[in-house]
Amino acid sequence: MKADNQRTLLDHWLWEPRMLRAFVTAATALPILTCIILVLTIGQKGFQALVFLCFVPIFGIGYGLVGKRIARIRNGIAPDEGVAIPGLIVRGKIEAAGILVMG
């Protein structure tokens, strides 16, 4: 298993701060770059691409709250209960972020 500092960006959950920063940066930069290219090619209608920027804070805040919840749960588990790791809990078609305790 890799050490925490040797993990690549894709080894992180989306709610972890490093991955969340990369996601918000990309989700902000892509509509801006698209808008610039469209304004240069088709004119004023290119500004419609900026509509996608309104979704960035929604996803950023949502995954930030999930990250805080996961950290709070993880810190609440005593070390003698086992190793607590973040994971994806699946019940049928419903998926949710959670903590797995390996004892």
What does DSSP assign to residue 52? G
The pLDDT, as a whole number, for residue 100 is: 86
The pLDDT, as a whole number, for residue 4 is: 55
Number of domains in the chain: 1
**DSSP3 helix / strand / coil % (the chain, rounded to 5):** 65, 15, 15
Residues 6 or more apart whose CB falls under 8 angstroms from that of 8 comprise none
The pLDDT, as a whole number, for residue 5 is: 64
The pLDDT, as a whole number, for residue 3 is: 56
* Residue 84 domain boundaries: 4-102
The pLDDT, as a whole number, for residue 84 is: 87
The parts of the chain modelled with pLDDT lower than 70 are 1-5, 9
Is the pTM higher than 0.75? The answer reads no
Q: Which residue type is seen at 53?
A: L
The pLDDT, as a whole number, for residue 45 is: 79
The pLDDT, as a whole number, for residue 86 is: 86
